[in-house]
Every structure is written in C-alpha cells, then in structure tokens.
C-alpha cells in the first residue's frame, strides 16, 4: 500500500520545479548586482583551483581570499538593495562550495609534499572530508534559514561558516610562508592532516561562533572614521605582509571561538530567565474567580429520610 504522503510530496516537487526563478518577467537591474559579485567570486575560486594545480600557490591563495571578501559583500548587498531571490541563494551556495570546499582542499593537497603513495592517499581522504564538511555546513545553513529564532541569535552561526573554515584551514600554508613552522614535508604532514580534520569538525559542529550580522545594522557616528581607518590598515597589511596578516587573523579567530560560545551561553541564560520572569508575571496577574457559596443547606441529622416510593 502506497504511503498517502508520497503523492503530496511529488506534487509539491513538481510545483517547485514549475515556479520561475524570478517573480516578474522583467528583472530589475538591482536584482542582478549581488549575483554579479557571486559570479566573480566563483570565477576566483575556479582560478584558485587552476593556480594550485599549476603550483602557483600564492596566486591560488590570493584568489581564495578574494572570493571570501566577495562572499561577505554579496549577501549584505542583496539585503541592502532588497534584491534577495531564490536564484541568488542557490547560486551563492554552489559558489561557496567551490570556493571554500573544493579550492582549499585542492590547494592543501597539491601544496603538501606527501612523500609516499600511502601517505598521499591518506592526505587525499583528509582533504576530501574537508570538502564534504563544507557541503554539509552549507546544506544545514540553507535549512536553518526559515527557522524562527530570537533576533539576538542571528548574531551567531552554528559551526564555523564556510568562508572562515576555508581560510583557517590554510593556516599551515600561512605559517610556512612566514617561516614559523615548516609543515610542507616530513613528519609535519601528520600535523597538517590532524589540523585539517579539526577544521572540518568545527564546520559541521553545533558550536556557536560570532557572525557580526547585527553589528552592521547601526554604527555610531564616532566609530565611522575609526572603522574606515581600521579597514585601510588591514588591507595595507594584507597586501604588504600577506602571510603574517593571515596568520594573525586566523589565530585571533580561533581564540574568539571559546569567547563566542561563552557569550552565547550567557545570553541564552539571560533570555531564559527573562522569559521565565515574564511567564511568572503573566500568571500572577490572572487571579482565580471567587467561589460561589452553595444555597443548598445540608440535611438535618435529626430528620428521618422519607421511605422510597414504589412504581
């Protein structure tokens, strides 16, 4: 016997496939602007794969960082222009998987000198798990978009986001470029594999990480010029000392994860306490109705009851 839910699911699937990508026949130009940034980021990710295969690791690294910067722009631009669409969401997810799942995996695999064939096969499994973790992270993010949550929870991601995961996964390359550690060959490749697995776990975990989405809604007037100055300084450091700047940013981000978890738990506890207080206040305002006294007097104990009548 067929499940009665199957025809309904099939009809819903056909209805979604018939639905157009855009609501109107003529698409406004502002709807295309965020998708343009997404396509440029996708081109940067594909270029990073090519540069990694050709052994030009610095250019591959620059392309991945550039794609991460564009990924931070297209979403905010879509919300600012009110240009969000189903097509843009699907394109952004596919681009993120290529840019922050496939490209970092290929770069790590081609950059590391594995030495033996057995170690090379093990390294391929590790970077493969990194790409799979990125895909799972993006799928979970798409599912959780429609969930209703308190506004303060929008300031946190569940797990490390895909762009941040890709950038922190490349920390061995940054450290090797600075000269702090030589991780490209020898026994250090085991450290690279272990660290890559740790990043993959952070991406699919339920650890709360700070997103900063609510931070961009309003900026105090006195902070405008310092923010411009800070952005210019970071950009100058990134261009002049790329490996050192990326190493420092990665270490700061990893150090912020425990702080993000602690802050999330404190805000969650405060929210639960506030909800309990509101519930208690509502319960105390509703007083029970007074009991109505009974008008029927109890029977007198000295009066004998009447005998039952027969029918």
Q: How far is CA 236 from CA 37, 164, 209, in A?
A: 22, 20, 27
Q: Which of 139, 116, 138, 120 is nearest to 128 (CA)?
A: 120
Kind plus residue range of the DSSP H or E element containing 3: none
Would you give the DSSP letter of residue 102?
Answer: I
Residues 6+ apart with CB under 8 A from 235: none
pLDDT at 266: 87
pLDDT at 107: 94
d(C-alpha 69, C-alpha 49), whole Å: 17
pLDDT at 39: 93
Domains of the chain, earliest start first: 29-145+152-213+225-271 (1.20.120)
pTM for this prediction = 0.77
pLDDT at 170: 93
The angle at the Cα of 264, spanning 260 to 265, to the nearest 5 degrees, equals 120
Give the dihedral of Cα atoms 279, 283, 286, 289; nearest 10 deg: 150
| Axis-axis angle for helices 117-144, 86-97 (nearest 10) | 160
d(C-alpha 163, C-alpha 67), whole Å: 9
pLDDT at 309: 46
Provide the phi-psi class of 294: left if phi over 0, else alpha when psi is between -120 and 50, else beta. beta
| Axis-axis angle for helices 242-285, 224-240 (nearest 10) | 140
pLDDT in tens, the chain (311 residues): 556 665 666 666 565 555 555 555 677 777 788 888 999 999 999 999 999 999 999 999 999 999 999 988 887 787 777 777 788 888 888 999 999 999 999 999 998 877 678 888 999 999 999 999 999 999 888 887 767 777 777 778 888 999 999 999 999 999 888 887 776 667 788 888 999 999 999 999 988 888 876 665 666 777 788 888 888 998 898 888 889 899 999 999 999 999 988 888 888 888 788 878 877 777 666 555 555 555 555 555 454 555 554 44
pLDDT at 270: 83
β-pair partners for 208: 158
pLDDT at 294: 53
d(C-alpha 83, C-alpha 17), whole Å: 21
Residues 6+ apart with CB under 8 A from 249: 167
pLDDT at 92: 87
Q: Say if residue 188 is exposed, middle or buried (CB neighbours under 10 Å; 0-12, 13-18, 19+).
A: middle
Q: Say if residue 74 is exposed, middle or buried (CB neighbours under 10 Å; 0-12, 13-18, 19+).
A: buried
Q: What are phi and psi of 170, to 5 degrees?
A: -90, 15
pLDDT at 1: 54
d(C-alpha 21, C-alpha 19), whole Å: 7
pLDDT at 151: 76
d(C-alpha 19, C-alpha 22), whole Å: 9
Residues 6+ apart with CB under 8 A from 143: none
β-pair partners for 210: 156
β-pair partners for 209: 157
């Amino acid at each position: 016997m067929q499940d009665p839910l199957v025809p309904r699911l099939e009809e819903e699937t056909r209805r979604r496939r018939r639905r157009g990508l855009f609501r109107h026949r003529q698409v406004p130009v502002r709807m295309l602007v965020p998708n343009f940034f997404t396509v440029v980021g996708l081109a940067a990710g594909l270029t990073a794969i090519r540069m990694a295969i050709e052994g030009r690791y610095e250019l591959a690294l620059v392309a991945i960082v550039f794609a991460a910067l564009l990924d931070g722009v297209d979403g905010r631009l879509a919300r600012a222009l009110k240009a969000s669409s189903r097509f843009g969401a699907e394109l952004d997810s596919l681009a993120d998987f290529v840019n922050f799942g496939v490209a970092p995996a290929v770069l790590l695999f081609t950059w590391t000198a594995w030495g033996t064939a057995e170690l090379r096969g093990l390294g391929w499994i590790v970077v493969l798990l990194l790409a799979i973790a990125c895909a799972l992270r993006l799928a979970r993010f798409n599912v959780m978009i429609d969930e209703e949550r308190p506004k303060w929870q929008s300031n946190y991601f569940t797990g490390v986001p895909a762009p941040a995961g890709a950038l922190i996964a490349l920390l061995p390359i940054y450290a090797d470029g600075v000269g702090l550690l030589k991780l490209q060959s020898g026994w250090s490749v085991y450290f690279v594999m272990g660290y890559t697995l740790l990043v993959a776990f952070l991406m699919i975990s339920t650890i709360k990480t700070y997103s900063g989405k609510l931070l961009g809604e309003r900026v105090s007037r006195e902070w405008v010029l310092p923010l411009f100055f800070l952005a210019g300084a970071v950009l100058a450091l990134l261009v002049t000392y790329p490996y050192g700047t990326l190493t420092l940013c990665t270490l700061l981000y990893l150090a912020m994860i425990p702080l993000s978890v602690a802050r999330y738990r404190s805000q969650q506890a405060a929210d639960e306490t506030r909800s309990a207080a509101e519930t208690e206040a509502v319960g105390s305002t509703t007083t029970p109705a007074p009991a109505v006294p009974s008008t029927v007097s109890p029977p007198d104990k000295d009066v004998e009851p009447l005998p039952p009548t027969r029918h």
